[in-house]
A and B are shown apart, each in its own frame.
Chain A
Amino acid sequence: MNMKSRQRTFMIITILILALFFVFNTLPLIKGVIFSFTNYKGYGAFDFVGLRNYADLFTDSRVGHSYLFTFKFAILATILINVISLILALALNAKIRFKSALRGMYFIPNILGALVIGYIFNYIFTYIIPALFHSESILANARWAWIAVVIVCVWQSVAMTTIIYISGLQTVPSDVYEAGALDGATGWKQFRHLTLPLILPFVTTNMVLSLKNSLMVFDQIVALTQGGPAQSTESISFLIYNNGLSGGQFGFQSANAVLFFIVIVVFSTFQMKFLGGKEEQL
């Protein structure tokens, strides 16, 4: 009896919250999918154009480029963000001096707005680094500009990922370390065999979140390169926003967004399956 009512309470709560989610996420998504079959500009009259937008997607070299750029960018950024954040989280979680101050400082990149970051890093890449190394600006180089976007994105995203890792480290009971220390597990060994397995759920979460954020990279591109030089750093989100909202391609870019959504879901499912499998093994 008790179990049943417990199940019912859970069920009602879940359904209510999911209903809210449906109304403000799924419903507009469905409408977006419908627009993806039209030549809607965002206002005025529109016609249904069948699968034209989807057919165009696969023949548009600009869209193809944006997918290539976005994925190579996201994979590199996700790896860098997680490695750096994990090291930083371990360091900030250690018994260090000025703990609060240090944690506060390392959090700052996350709060600075895109305009500030864009201006300052533009300045660093355009004036300071070339002056130090007698080189040309990386932002003007169509081959390497994407690395600059990776650097800034990692710089900004590390803070958020670190917070999640720090909170993950709190779930590791101290007696685990104590028992491990008796067995001689210290340093790398302690991390590899004790800490890492216990925080794996957080690794999964962080990998998924940072991959998703990197795949949707937009702000840093607007602030740093505007998609240039020579259209080498146009991300998928950049195209969707710029052409769908400011431009008159809402229908076409809705199709792009729908395709993008499907691609990310597939990609993330693989990632979660892979990492989830690891979790169970350990």
Chain B
Amino acid sequence: MHSMTKKIVSVGLIAALCSGMTLGMTGCGQSDAAKGKTVVTLLQYKQEAVDIFDEIMADFNATHDDIYLEIESPSDAMTILKTRLIREEAPDIIGFGGDVNYSNFVDAGILMDLSESGVLEKVNPAYLDILESLEYVPTDGTYAMPYAANAAGMLYNKDMFAEHGWEIPTNWNEFTALCDQIQSEGIQPLYSGYKDTWTCLAPWNAIAIELSPSDVCFQVSDGETTFAKEYSEVADKMQELLKYAEDGPFAYGYNDACLAFADGQSAMFAIGSYAVPQILSSNPDMNIGSFVMPAADSEEKLVLNSGIDLQFAISESCENKDAALEVLRYLAEEENVQNYITAQNSVSCLLGDYETSPVLENMMPYIESGRMADFQDHHYPSEMAVDAMIQTFLIEGDKEAFLNKFDTSWVRYNRDVIKKVQDYTAAHGGE
């Protein structure tokens, strides 16, 4: 008994000592390769792209004598990034999505203005517009380099469409007619997977951009309009989609929906290109196509829902901004962009002759001509939980209550932002 206790105690103390020693070693994370070079750290949030980034890091370091690039692609990178900001150890370059985080970071003044740096010259102007619209109030600068985009709308089972001779719909009437047709042939038109609240946002976004102004959030904050007015038709169409969805859509999650769609249990799935890898993982031979959500009443009014999935920003506190810019220029080289978008099934935000995944074939003309708008939920504060509100609406079916709540919650969760917007319009004389 006694010797047992002693043994346990000594093992524990040794373990504690060992861990104490690692304290001293943590400073030497960088290898000898970094010696005498300017070290640039990059933290990016696409954990699934870790292999590509490892490759980029190796190639970059092999070709540069003066700069050592260190890329981290951790899980839950946004939490980690926030811990770095709290510690005041911001990475030199941040790779993240074009969403409300960007708005907050710009607002907090932690990103460097890239507009004079030249790295934005190759960027598709449509994506720069999307980026600008993410700022709470317009600023003079541009604080990130859009890199890759995703696109959302409707995914469809190509083989099934070909077999039954179904055509891709180009407006809402054609779409509902198609769904009725599919249903009459005994096939499930849509799978929704609304148990996960965020999947409710996929069709919501795609419909909302066609039926409401793209800067609706700014307009509401400025008091020019209300969501009750702008989102009324969007809500109707969301309810209409339910008719074509699986029975009890709130019982099945995103994962169930991916599996069911991959298994041919539905003809379509209203989701973005980002779901393609998960679907292919359970059915590698599936032939997936996509089209723009046909929510408007005519083809001319259709707009592609596309947002910035990955962009790079340099932190204001970075000490070697020139070296960091060199890294951005390297990332923007055609070969690297192509490798990334091929591996991730995504769309390049940089102009050039890129080969895009065949899944996105029907969406490419929209991208090339800049006929697209950002995900509206990129403007919703995440703590407002619009996704859960949409789910509640679809379950309970009370449109008026939902839209009223949307307006009141917007005011409640955006108090500081609304004040900024109104100060801005007051100062700029209403544009």
User: Are A and B close enough to touch in the complex, i.e. CB under 8 Å?
Assistant: yes
Q: Which residues of A contact B (CB under 8 A)?
A: 39, 41-45, 56, 60, 62, 122, 126, 130, 136-137, 139-140, 142, 226-231, 234, 242-243, 245-249
Produce 1/0 per residue, B353-390, CB < 8 A to A. Answer: 00000000000000000000000000001110100110
For A43, A137, A243, A247, the residue with the greatest tally of chain B CB atoms inside 10 Å of its CB is A43
Q: Smallest CB–CB gap between B226 and chain A, Å?
A: 20
| A60 CA to B412 CA, complexed, in Å | 9
- Also in contact, A248 and B383, with CB within 8 A (given A43-B110, A226-B197): yes
Which B positions have Cβ atoms within 8 angstroms of A? 78-79, 82, 85-86, 100, 104-105, 107-110, 195-197, 248, 250-253, 256, 381-383, 385, 388-389, 391-392, 395-396, 412-413, 416
Cα A137 to Cα B248 with chains together (Å): 8
Q: What are 10 A-B pairs with beta-carbon distances under 8 A?
A: A41-B108, A43-B86, A62-B385, A136-B251, A140-B248, A229-B395, A231-B392, A242-B383, A243-B382, A248-B382
Which of A44, A60, A228, A246 is in CB contact (< 8 Å) with B250?
A: A228
| Structural contact, A248 and B395, CB atoms closer than 8 A | no
Q: In the docked arrangement, what's the CA distance between A41 and B197, Å?
A: 24
B197 lies within 8 A of A227 (CB) = yes
For A228, list chain B residues within 8 Å (CB).
195, 197, 250, 388, 391
Interchain Cβ contacts within 8 Å, total number: 87
How far is A97 from B20 in the complex, measured between Cα atoms in Å?
45
Q: How far is the CA of A127 from the CA of B153 in the complex (A)?
A: 28
Chain A residues, Cβ within 8 Å of B395: 142, 229-230
Q: Nearest chain-B residue to A245 (Cβ)?
A: B79
Q: Given A41-B104, A42-B86, A243-B382, A126–B256 Cβ distance below 8 Å?
A: yes
By the criterion CB–CB under 8 Å, are B391 and A230 in contact? yes
Given A136, A227, A248, which contacts B104 in the complex, CB threshold below 8 Å? A248
**For B416, what are the chain A residues with a Cβ–Cβ distance below 8 Å?**
39
Closest to B109 in A: A44
- A229 near B82: Cβ-Cβ < 8 Å: no
Collect the chain B residues with CB atoms within 8 Å of residue A231's CB: 385, 388-389, 391-392
User: From residue B268, how far is it (CB to closest CB) to chain A in Å?
Assistant: 21
Cβ-closest chain B residue relative to A137: B251
Q: Which residues of A contact B389 (CB under 8 A)?
A: 231
Other-chain contact of B85, A43, A142, A227 (Cβ < 8 Å): A43
Residue in A45, A62, A126, A248 whose CB lies within 8 Å of B251: A126
Residues of A within 8 A of B381 (CB): 247-248
In this complex, the member of B109, B110, B253 whose beta carbon has the largest number of chain A beta carbons within 10 angstroms is: B253
Given A44-B104, A44-B107: A227 in contact with B195 (beta carbons within 8 A): no
The distance in angstroms between the C-alpha atoms of A39 and B388, with both chains bound, is 24
Complex contacts, A60 vs chain B, CB 8 Å: 412
Enumerate chain A residues within 8 angstroms of B100, measured Cβ to Cβ: 248
| Complex Cα–Cα for A143 and B109 (A) | 45
A-B pairs, top 10 by smallest CB distance, nearest first, are: A44-B108, A247-B383, A137-B251, A243-B383, A140-B251, A140-B250, A43-B85, A230-B392, A247-B382, A249-B383
**Smallest CB–CB gap between A231 and chain B, Å?**
5
Minimum Cβ distance to chain A for residue B399 (Å): 14
- For A247, the chain B residues whose CB sits under 8 A away are 381-383
Q: How far is A126 from B194 in the complex, measured between Cα atoms in Å?
A: 13
Minimum CB–CB distance from A232 to chain B (whole Å) comes to: 9
B82 cross-chain contacts in A, Cβ below 8 A:
42-43, 245
Bound-state Cα–Cα, A139 to B391, Å:
13
Complex CA–CA separation, A11 to B413 (angstroms): 49
A251 to chain B, nearest CB (A): 11
Shortest distance between the CB of B256 and any CB in chain A (Å): 7
Q: Pick the contact of A229 from B109, B195, B256, B385 — CB < 8 Å?
A: B195
Across the interface, name the chain A residue whose C-beta is closest to B79: A245
| B382 contacts A43, C-beta separation under 8 Å | no
The interface residues of chain A lying within 8 Å CB-to-CB of B391 are 228-231
**Cβ-defined contact, A140 with B195, below 8 A:** yes
The residue on B at minimum CB distance from A142 is B395
Known: A226-B197, A228-B197, A229-B391. A126 touches B252 (CB 8 A): yes
A60 to B409, CA, bound (A): 9
The residue of chain B having its C-beta at the shortest distance from the C-beta of A56 within the complex is B412
Q: In the complex, are the beta carbons of B383 and A227 less than 8 A apart?
A: no
The residue in chain B whose Cβ has the minimal distance to the Cβ of A39 is B416
How many angstroms between the C-alpha atoms of A43 and B81 in the bound complex? Answer: 10
List 12 other contacts, CB 8 Å, given A39-B416, A44-B108. Answer: A43-B108, A45-B108, A140-B195, A140-B250, A226-B196, A226-B197, A228-B388, A229-B395, A230-B395, A231-B388, A246-B382, A249-B413
Instruction: Kindly name the residue among A228, A245, A247 whose own CB sees the greatest number of chain B CB atoms within 10 A.
Output: A228
Distance between Cα atoms of A86 and B286 in the complex (Å): 53
| CA of A80 to CA of B235, assembled, Å | 42
Give the nearest-CB partner of A42 in chain B: B82
Q: What is the CB-to-nearest-CB distance from B65 to chain A, in angstroms, rounded to a whole number? A: 35
Q: Which residues of A contact B107 (CB under 8 A)?
A: 44
Q: Are A139 and B388 in contact (CB under 8 A)?
A: no
